Amino acid sequence: MKRGNVVSAGEPYYVLTADNIASVYGVKAVIRKQSQAQYIMPVGPIKTTIRKG
């Protein structure tokens, strides 16, 4: 969920993607799959531009 809205639904293998993690948490992540386990490693923040207005 992001701001009260569902971003993606389904099995973790399909939902926990680098793009979804970046969108929801604002971090770059590397995802490794081994056997039936999935490992998510945050590797850094996503650079954002702050708008002044």
For residue 35, count CB atoms less than 10 angstroms from its CB and return exposed for 0-12, middle for 13-18, buried for 19 or more.
Answer: exposed
Q: Percent of the chain beyond pLDDT 90?
A: 45
Report whether 16 contacts 31 (CB < 8 A). Answer: yes
- Residue 50 C-alpha from the chain's centroid: 21
- Assign 3 a pLDDT band (cuts: 50, 70, 90): confident
Per-residue pLDDT for 38 more than 80?
yes
Give me 53's structure tokens.
């207005």
